[in-house]
Amino acid sequence: MGSTHEFPVPVGGVPYPLDFAPSILFAVLYGLMVPVVVYRMVHPRSRNGVLIGTTVFSIERVVAFGLRAHVAHSASARANEGLETYFQTTYSGGFTSIGGDLMNLLRALLVSSTLGGDMVTLHSLTPPLVWEAQAAKDKEGKSDVELVVRKAQDDEEGDVDAGSGTPGSELVDQPELRQKIRQWCGLASLLSLAGVIMSIVAGSNYKNAVDGSHGDLVRSLWYASTVLGVVLLLGMAVTAVFALYKMPRVPRASLLWIILVAILLSIIGVYRMVVISHSTMSLFSTAPGSQNSAGSKAAFYALHVAPEFVSAAILMVLNARRMFGTGPWGDRLGKDPKPKPKPEPGSEGELDATKAAAKPKRGWWGGRGGRGSGRGRGRGS
């Protein structure tokens, strides 16, 4: 399909027979990941709304690579500009949407690690140290997890060493740090959303670029969304490295996963910036830079598709609620909820609270007290 004007080359090129095998491979890999995705969606201890973008992306990729395999052996489908527009839309929006979910995970992880005192029970997030304490108690087979938390009253108290994460560790609330984290992560999330929107708009206009209009617009939006995405990903990686050394209450393993996924997604962004700098006058061109040569295809699968799959697989396989302390929806608050006023000594409210505390509690399995009770309260949060 030739034209008299230049337009941005399609990322990944037009599917040819040599695309069939790798397309089937990744369709199968994403298909094998669907049961994991479904499990994470339905299991109460791992179900969360933080990874909704990655969840939809993982299921959609099965369809995308199935279609790519079909187009590889169909000349009529290969000439369909609508299909190519779909491919460019989904390729451009993929890594930015996963990056947005990664931002939500980082925010939940950092915010949850600052919780202490009354704030632990007032948030749906679970501080990672509480998870570790509960896991240790469950392993020992004891009745319940007792994690003493307190709020710092003045600067002289300072922070306590909560690195052990064992029952009895004291967690100091850090409201000022928590507010700063929310402000910066909130701004980054808005920028990430803007990047996703720009990438989708650019991809959906690719057909117009091929037909002779909006070519410059598509390239500009691709550049803007990709550069913005890479900057945000590198910012997340730098923030995680900073937290490794300056925020001892944040689990090291969780931060390392953030860094790894951010680097993998950044590889995609750098690859895309190189590719979209090229132009062509035909989708079927085999000229240098057209993305239809064997070498260009290999680079696409190695530097775009593979890092994308590994990133999505990591986030889906990990239990985000436990690894990043997300709770069911992550951190959606702009400010801390206010604690309920405590009843005055001798009042009716205090008597009711005393009776409620003395009443046996039901575990997650429906029994009273015992090991199930501690496990139910901890892991269900």
DSSP annotation of 341 = P
Angle at CA of residue 85, ends 81 and 91, nearest 5°: 145
SS3 content of the chain, % helix, strand, coil (to 5): 65, 5, 35
pTM score, two decimals?
0.80
Distances, alpha carbon 203 to alpha carbons 61, 120, 220, 225, 344, in Å: 16, 43, 11, 11, 62
pLDDT of residue 131: 64
Sorted by sequence, the CB contacts under 8 Å of residue 60 that are 6+ apart come out as 90
DSSP code string of 134-155:
HHHHHHHT-S----------ST
The mean of the pLDDT values for the chain is: 81
Phi-psi region of 370 (alpha: psi -120 to 50; beta: other; left: phi over 0): left
Tell me which fold the domain 2-115+183-323 belongs to: Rhopdopsin 7-helix transmembrane proteins (1.20.1070)
Q: What is the pLDDT of residues 97-152, one digit of tens each?
A: 999 999 999 999 999 888 887 787 777 777 766 666 666 665 655 444 444 444 33
pLDDT of residue 141: 53
Provide the β-strand partners of residue 8: 279
Angle at CA of residue 338, ends 336 and 342, nearest 5°: 145
Is residue 220 very low, low, confident or very high in pLDDT (cuts 50, 70, 90)? very high
Contact 233, 99 (CB under 8 A): yes
Q: What is the pLDDT of residues 23-74, one digit of tens each?
A: 999 999 999 999 999 998 888 888 888 999 999 999 999 999 999 999 999 9
Q: What is the pLDDT of residues 258-314, one digit of tens each?
A: 999 999 999 999 999 999 999 998 899 888 889 999 999 999 999 999 999 999 999
What are the boundaries of each domain within the chain? 2-115+183-323, 128-170+340-379
Share above pLDDT 90 across residues of the chain, in percent, rounded to a whole number: 51
The pLDDT of residue 77 is above 60: yes
